[in-house]
Each structure stands twice: as C-alpha cells, then as structure tokens.
C-alpha cells in the first residue's frame, strides 16, 4: 500500500491462541495473504517460549539463524520488512524467570532497561523503526496513580529511549484502554514527563476511543509526539470503570464487561464504527505524518477475512494505491 503515508499490517490477530501460529507454513500463509493484499511490511508482537516463535529475538534466531535469515523468510513471502515490535515489560516471560515488573516501581527500572536491549538490537538488525511499548500495566492490578507516579514511569522510558536511540531505533508508548494511564490528561502528563527526543507516542485509534479519548482531537493536539499509529475501529466505549474490573483482559475485552460484547475491535469502515477513520487519516496526511500506519484487527475475528476488508477500505475509501 502506498500514498503519502506508509502502510503496514500487524500479525497479532493471527496469533490468537498458543498453538495456531507456530508452524512456518501457517506464518507463510499469513504473510503471503498480506502481501497479496498490498501490505509489504508487518509489525511483530513480543511473546515467550517456543510456541510464540516470532515473539523473542533468541527464538527467532533459533528458527531462522538470525536477523538476516528472518528477513529472507519474510522476503520469500514478498514481505519486505518489519516496522517494529510491540512489547509489554510487565508481562512475565519464561526467558526471564517469570519475573513480575512494574514501571511504577523504581527498583524494577534497571531490569526493564536490560530486558529492552535484545528487542532493540533485533529491531536495529532487521531495519525496523520502532519499539512499541506498554508504558504501564492494567489499572485493575494496581492502586490508582498518584500524581508523582507518572514522573516515575517517565523516568524508565527515558532510559529505554536512550538505549533505543543509540541503536537507531525509536521508542513509542502505546496507549491501551485497560491501562492505569487512562485519561487524556494522564496520557498528556506522561508525554510531558518524557524526553521528546527519545520517546514518542504510538496512537491507537480504537484503544483511545474505548477509553473515552477522541483520537482525532488528541492527534491534532499532540501530533508532534506521534511517531507510530495503530489503525482500527470499535463500536463501543467503556461506560465508566469497566477497565477496572478484576481480570479486565478477560472480563471486559473477552467477556464483554457484562454487556455481552463479543468483540471490541473491528475492521475499518465497520457499521456503527465510532472512529472517524477518514478524518483521522486526513489529519495524518495534512500534517505530513512520517511514521508507519499499522492496520490491525487485534483478535477481532477471522484474520484473513478482516485483512481483506481492511485492504478494500484503504483502496476504495481512503484512495490508497495497492502496489
């Protein structure tokens, strides 16, 4: 996909269960599908263990011999490269002894910085541009943020940003609708607590909308900090404190928060969609946004079907040429 913006697609929707996106033949099928639909770059998501063999640099090396071999694997499917990788430092992983870490805890900061290094090195080696990170864990797992907590969170991301910048990789904080940093004011204060030369924002249109933040208005206000975009739609918003429900990843995002919502994330142009996709993309074009726009469905349904719908929307509603 090509116009004044650079378009890519996230692979996370294919990896919706531990055993369904492990074999290389399944990964090739997904990559070739995206290539046929016009997407020649993909975004990866961090994971753990051999079952998540696109989620850790050391596992990718075991499977492909290193970054060069992995690029050969992608290019054999007519995918030219990687835009970046999403990483949550608060997610316990086998490779680090299932350690629980929090960006709110200064005692964890040094370990978080060290944990980031393998991802930064891998992304630099494959020519990717962004390490996309979850800045803080879910609200339901922790007490409400104190005012000073945001400065503490900003400190660790400034340090990770230094590591990334030294390798020629950008760092982008990804807002999500379950995050303890939840309101537009809190997100703005987090950006203000970080160095704009080191830390950017990954703006996710559906996540912001669910959290009650208008993505178009927020982009217009903070466009200078936006270095990465996740583009998807939603039909729903959090009615108040659903994001604080215990186990919200399941009780809200998969259990519907008591409203029997089957899924929260939708393809572009979905009927009843709340994201003004056309206005948002027009704003990106008007301000000559230079980063990647990564389309995703985020476990929304059949991956290939949703990728086809998204490709159609880009071509026919946003006038993006398929090349």
Mean pLDDT of 44-61: 92
Structure tokens at 153: 């969170």
Q: Rounded mean pLDDT of 41-54? A: 92
Distance linking the first and last C-alpha atoms of the chain: 6
Count of CB atoms situated within 10 Å of the CB of 191: 21
- Report, as an integer, the average pLDDT of 262-277: 94
Beta bridge partners of 231: 295
Q: Are 84 and 130 in contact (CB under 8 A)?
A: yes
Check residue 22 and give its pLDDT.
79
The answer to whether residue 35 scores a pLDDT higher than 80 is yes
User: Which range, of 34-38, 237-241, 279-283, 303-307, averages the lowest pLDDT?
Assistant: 237-241
Dist CA 264 CA 228 (whole Å) = 21
Residue 20 has pLDDT above 80, yes or no: no
Q: Could you give the percent of the chain with pLDDT greater than 90? A: 80
- Which residues does 236 contact at the CB level (< 8 Å), separation at least 6? 210, 259, 261, 264, 274
Instruction: Report residue 12 as tokens.
Output: 């996370």
Give the model confidence (pLDDT) of 78-115 as tens digits.
999 999 999 999 999 989 999 999 999 999 999 999 99
Of 27-41, 188-202, 240-254, which gets the smallest average pLDDT? 240-254
Asked if pLDDT for residue 248 goes beyond 90, the answer is no
pTM of the shown model: 0.95
Dihedral of alpha carbons 305, 307, 312, 317, sign: positive
State the average pLDDT over residues 230-236.
96
Mean pLDDT within 128-134:
98
On the question of pLDDT at 213 being above 80, the answer is yes
Which pLDDT value is given to residue 247?
87
Band the pLDDT of 18: cuts 50, 70, 90.
low
Asked if the model's pLDDT at residue 192 lies above 70, the reply is yes
Band (pLDDT 50/70/90 cuts) for residue 251 is: confident
**Res 123: pLDDT:** 98
pLDDT above 70 (res 224) = yes
**DSSP string for 234-259:** -S----SSGGGSTTHHHHTTTTGGGT
Average of pLDDT values for 133-154?
94
Q: For the residues of 189-251, what is the DSSP string, one character each?
A: HHHHTS-TTT-EEEEEHHHHHHTT--HHHHHHHHGGGEEEEEE-B-S----SSGGGSTTHHHH
Q: What is the band of 21 on the pLDDT scale with cuts at 50, 70, 90?
A: confident
In angstroms and rounded to an integer, the radius of gyration of the C-alpha atoms of the chain is: 18
Q: Are 278 and 318 in contact (CB under 8 A)?
A: yes
Average pLDDT over residues 4-25: 85
Question: 52-56 — which CB contacts under 8 Å span 24+ positions?
Answer: 52/15, 52/18, 52/22, 53/22, 54/11, 54/15, 54/21, 54/27, 56/93, 56/95, 56/118
Given a cut of 90, whether residue 255 has pLDDT beyond it is: no
Whether the predicted pLDDT of 155 surpasses 70 = yes
User: Phi then psi for 19, rounded to 5 degrees?
Assistant: -105, 10
Residue 257: per-residue pLDDT: 66
Q: What is the rounded average pLDDT of the residues 50-77?
A: 95
* Torsion sign over Cα 268, 271, 274, 279: positive
């Amino acid at each position: 996909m090509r116009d004044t913006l650079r378009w890519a697609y996230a692979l996370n929707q294919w990896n919706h269960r531990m055993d369904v996106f492990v074999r290389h033949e399944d990964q090739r099928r997904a990559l070739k599908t995206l290539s046929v639909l016009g997407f020649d770059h993909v975004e990866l998501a961090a994971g753990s263990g051999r079952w998540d063999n696109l989620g850790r640099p050391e596992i990718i090396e075991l499977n492909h011999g290193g970054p060069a071999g992995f690029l050969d694997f992608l290019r054999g499917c007519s995918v030219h490269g990687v835009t970046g990788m999403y990483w949550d430092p608060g997610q316990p992983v086998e490779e680090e002894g299932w350690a629980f870490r929090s960006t709110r805890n200064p005692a964890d900061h040094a370990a978080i910085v060290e944990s980031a290094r393998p991802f930064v090195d891998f992304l630099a080696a494959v020519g990717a541009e962004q390490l996309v990170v979850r800045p803080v864990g879910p609200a339901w797992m922790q007490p409400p943020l104190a005012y000073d907590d945001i400065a503490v969170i900003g400190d660790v991301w400034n340090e990770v940003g230094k590591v990334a910048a030294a390798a020629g990789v950008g760092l982008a904080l990804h807002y999500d609708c379950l995050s303890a940093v939840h309101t537009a004011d809190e997100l703005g204060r987090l950006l203000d607590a970080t160095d704009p030369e080191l830390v950017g924002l990954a703006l996710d249109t559906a996540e912001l909308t669910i959290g009650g933040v208008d993505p178009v208005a927020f982009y217009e206000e903070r466009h200078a900090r936006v270095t990465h975009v996740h583009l998807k739609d939603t039909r729903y918003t959090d009615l108040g404190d659903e994001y604080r429900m215990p186990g919200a990843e399941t009780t809200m995002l998969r259990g519907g928060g008591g409203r029997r919502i089957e899924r929260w994330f939708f393809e572009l142009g979905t009927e009843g969609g709340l994201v003004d996709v056309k206005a948002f993309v027009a704003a990106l074009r008007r301000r000559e946004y230079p980063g990647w726009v990564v389309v995703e469905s985020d476990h929304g349904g059949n991956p290939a079907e949703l990728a086809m719908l998204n490709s159609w929307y880009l071509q026919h509603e946003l006038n993006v040429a398929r090349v």
